[in-house]
Amino acid sequence: MADLHSEKILILDFGSQYTQLIARRVREAHVYCELHPYDMDLEAIRAFQPNGIILSGGPKSVYDEGAPAVEEALFELGVPVLGICYGMQLLNRHFGGHVVPAGKREYGHADLLSQGQPGPLFDGFFVDGKSPVWMSHGDHVEQVADGFDIIAATDNAPVCGIQNVERNLYGVQFHPEVNHTPRGEVLIDTFVRKICGCSGQWTPGQIIEDAVARIREQVGTDKVILGLSGGVDSSVAAALIHRAIGDQLTCVFVDNGLLRLNEGDQVMSTFAQNLGVKVIRVDAEDRFLTALAGETDPEKKRKIIGGLFVDIFEEESNKLTDAKWLAQGTIYPDVIESAGAKTGKAHNIKSHHNVGGLPDYMKLQLLEPLRELFKDEVRTVGEELGLPHQMVWRHPFPGPGLGVRILGEIKKEYADILRQADAIYIEELYRSGHYEKISQAFAVFLPVKSVGVMGDGRTYEYVVALRAVETKDFMTAGWYPMPYADLARISSRIINEVKGINRVTYDISSKPPATIEWE
């Protein structure tokens, strides 16, 4: 079996909003990578044994007092280095070049122009000597360091690409990791595969083979329990662990009454009946609704739902006295964001439900087979494991479920209304071919009533809002331009088929300033 971690790229994060995208692009080149803070200890970098290092962008200026930097010996490790934006400026300044505030800042699209011989990094990148790129910088390189050549420029910035081929050091002022740089993946693939010499072993089949071997080695003959939510991450984790250890796995599915229409039955059908996984189903709707009664604060609702889930899960796990492992569907972005929060580098918008380890009183070891994978990798692995396409590729669903899509207090009446409206919405998106073009779509229950007319009579009923967004990274998102005819049909069906709703609205807010979920 190939060692999937024998080839790897290290990404040092200087605070760019796009750093996770760099990692995703490297993974798309089928090469393993890890993202670490810029001040990672040099001995730890040596121990990591990277085939190459990427320095990310960042919001600071390299000439500021206390600006983020790396140890000088980093550039003496003998591995290729690619600096992006701030990373390029840092690289240039380290070797004696000058970086200054730009006379004219450059944000958004620009045409990158080839300068002289493009060298190995830009192999296949330019078409007729130019390529559109995405810029985001207020400083620029005024003087290139000795030993470096200028290989790219824009009309506004004379130095947008530098190289020292002899030392395998490269820098670009633009952001090849974002979708707004159409051929950016070509550049990152070239750096990772050609310059760093990685062959590309990080494929779904190899990931599964490696994970199965590691799970078997970790667990041995022990029993494992997993909290199955029906979401993509826990579902793929369950299928992967079951592939590795079969009946040693028992899943606990807590039906909290805040799931989508018929979701509980679908989970049982997929796992218990079709895959042969042992699943214990717990009907806990009454307990959750009682605990949530009267609560309107979104964060408190999240904590109540998360805390009660742990309590119920613990009750069930205590019945399985021979279990020694708790499995979770933690994925790599959870790990990155949790680490950022612990170091104070991330602002807490809303809490995550499956990061942070186990309560001290739960005497179980933690098993997280997906913690190295991004969401798109998890989905691809899920399909490879035989999970239904519709389950694996469905839109994200929050850990608290409908609890954060019912604004204000949660009541069973509201949850039942929302379930039906959301099911109609999603059904119509599939029928019209929009579902797989949209990154996330859902209905939101608004705790307000409006006047309407049905059958010549006055109604006074609730309102639902429909949300649909397009995004590549969920850090920013634009609202989906749904055709009016489709919106009209969805609205008509919801109002006619769901008792208690007489008005439907469509959310046209982008992120930022709004968030994707309403709570």
pLDDT on residue 101:
76
Annotated binding residues for ATP, as ranges?
229-235
Q: Residue 133 CB: number of other CB atoms within 10 A?
A: 26
Q: Residue 35 CB: number of other CB atoms within 10 A?
A: 21
Do 134 and 217 reside in the same domain of the chain?
Answer: no
How far is residue 330's CA from residue 370's CA, in Å, rounded to a whole number? 6
User: Residue for token digits 């492992």?
Assistant: 325
Q: Is the model more confident about 80 or about 103?
A: 80
Mean pLDDT value of segment 150-179? 92
Mean pLDDT value of segment 64-74? 88
Q: Report whether pLDDT(392) > 80.
A: yes
In one letter, which amino acid is 219?
V
Do 343 and 469 reside in the same domain of the chain?
Answer: no
pLDDT on residue 362:
64
How far is residue 490's CA from residue 188's CA, in Å, rounded to a whole number? 42
Q: Report whether pLDDT(437) > 50.
A: yes
Annotated binding residues, as ranges?
229-235
Do 62 and 99 touch, CB atoms closer than 8 A? yes
Residues 306-362 have pLDDT tens digits of 999 989 988 988 888 888 999 999 999 888 877 654 433 433 333 344 444 455 556
Mean pLDDT value of segment 496-503? 96
Domain that holds residue 119: 8-195
Closest CA to 301 of 399, 412, 416, 403: 403
Residues 44-62 have pLDDT tens digits of 999 999 999 999 999 888 8
Q: Residue 457 CB: number of other CB atoms within 10 A?
A: 7
Q: How many CA atoms lie within 13 A of 246 on its CB side?
A: 2
Structure-token pair, residue 164: 């020292």
Residues 107-149 have pLDDT tens digits of 789 999 999 887 899 988 999 999 999 988 777 788 999 999 9
Do 323 and 442 reside in the same domain of the chain?
Answer: no
In a domain, 248, yes or no: yes
Do 57 and 86 touch, CB atoms closer than 8 A? yes
501-506 and 457-470 strand pairing: parallel
Mean pLDDT of the chain, nearest integer: 90
Do 215 and 151 reside in the same domain of the chain?
Answer: no
Do 243 and 224 reside in the same domain of the chain?
Answer: yes
Do 208 and 357 reside in the same domain of the chain?
Answer: yes
Mean pLDDT value of segment 284-305? 96
Q: Residue 412 CB: number of other CB atoms within 10 A?
A: 12
Q: Active-site positions?
A: 85, 175, 177
Residues 175-193 have pLDDT tens digits of 999 988 999 999 999 999 9
Structure-token pair, residue 107: 């944000």
pTM of this structure: 0.84
Point out the domain boundary residue: 176, 195, 214.
195
The tally of domains found in the chain comes to: 3
In a domain, 2, yes or no: no
Point out the domain boundary residue: 195, 223, 250.
195
Residues 89-109 have pLDDT tens digits of 999 999 999 888 766 666 789
- Residue 492, domain CATH: 3.30.300.10
- Residue 153, domain CATH: 3.40.50.880
In a domain, 515, yes or no: no
